[in-house]
Structure 1
């Protein structure tokens, strides 16, 4: 017994030293600019953890991974200062916002040889012309996830189909102002980035009439509820849909014919990063086709890496729900940064929708 206890103590001591050593590296070298630490601030569960190990083994860097649950939470922490992040994962509209606030470092493309693998249609977007401050990480769409055991394929093709009386209390919807008001706008042929207050109010009025069909407004948990059949319809993002579909083979996902949101999550370097060299190294590593393919298969979102696609499961990349054809992508819009005044207006109008009685 004593031998076992001594052995256990030895193991625990070794583990303790390992953690102390890693902490020491982070605390003593993290502010020097010569550290081998890369502090990565990203969405939760948004990288295959095995790839972090692979990057560390290949390069000698040590990745400290910290997560956020919204672009706004990330922005607030960056603005507060006192952080030591080298690489962050903002969405497209947040890149635009952070550029206005002078919070991003310019990227050195010479240090990103794997940028050549990114499909050109995902580069040079309006939120960051020339990709001077960000590179694409994942992309996807907002669409409709439905249970084919209850709703035949082809029964829903349009946002306007959601207003059918038969769907009363049958729809879960993502809890977001731009998403919900955007559905009202696009269902009437308007832009997701509409700034005309009269049209925004009309979209609000239309979405209020949808509320009897809404069972719940949800965040990330929508995928779990969809997978266990809490409702036959869920309006959510393609990656969330993919996760739910892995758990329930009766589920299918589609993008309405009027179009929808196409979103981009990116990789960027915050102003004042201490390890810019390490940040570039990790960005470039994640754009390597074999790495990007593994990451996409783990995460479930669509990769912008054209050469990674050749390495992936054909069943996945040939699914038009997740890699939509050109005729669909032509009708997709990114969310633009409309400014603080319009953001408040969208949020206020969305609150009116949420307060609408559903029964």
Structure 2
């Protein structure tokens, strides 16, 4: 899915926590603020940036010239009004910086190279039975070298970092992968981010894969979303993220919004969870039971050719699970919106969202408002793009959370 940034409405002023300062010694903060606004709203003239930030026109001019000189901003075509000088909108320069994003999946690995706008400049993909620390580090080092070789020396110097999106506590999930627990034990004591940081001359960042996918929706996705929303991403296991006041909430251990574990039914002592019905691994098992080839699910996420009836049965069960999970979560936090995305062909995602919305309308729970349901705007690359957004946020935006307020 195209990851082009979609601008928001400049009329929605930023909150006070991200307004600029005209005092000396804070130019780095103000530069980040300008870059954050241009990323969120699209091309902006100096006068509009001054209005949005509260900075003086002179301060904004100095900042814009510096950012343009550094190759981070570029001028657009002048826009002539009825009176006065024409305004010149400034936008992000695509080659201003580059970022790498690594997705560690249970069935596949992806490494993306993105430009300053979040456009994917290159990718390397590998399907596997399951990830080991050794295989992930080997893949990452080879893929990074391959993608960096595509850049000119000037652009290579503008690579700002590598982000990693990976399942946390991956050793807990050996059984669904069909593995003995010993096969994943090596993950307990390995720190692949540290290992990769030693091999390259740029910083490396790490985030839970569900939270990373949610971060991609915030940074690169549709900017016209409510300030509070729940986000689901369907991969081998379903996961997601929690957004409150336009800020990704990751929690004490970085694993907040562990949506896979939400109970959707209890019979005696047996608990059915969302992961049991809304994960692709359950679809994989249905395909295998029907005599189909489950490998194509991971090799070709843009288009699936599955045995008749299998996909519809999975969508029905997943939609039922999502409906109960959404209602349970809404009882705790009054979300205005729920977003569903995943490693899915677009028509499958649309059908799943439609079926879930239908089920939500059929269920009646006293005392709560049913939230709006939307499709995600990133798609199957959300985890890798979310990983790439980590160095972008750390290096160029106000900070990883405050810049998202607006």
- TM-score calculated relative to the size of structure 1: 0.26
Using CA pairs under 8 Å that are at least 6 residues apart, name the structure with larger relative contact order, 1 or 2.
1
Higher helix proportion, which one?
1
Question: Could you state the TM-score of these two structures normalised by the residue count of structure 2?
Answer: 0.24
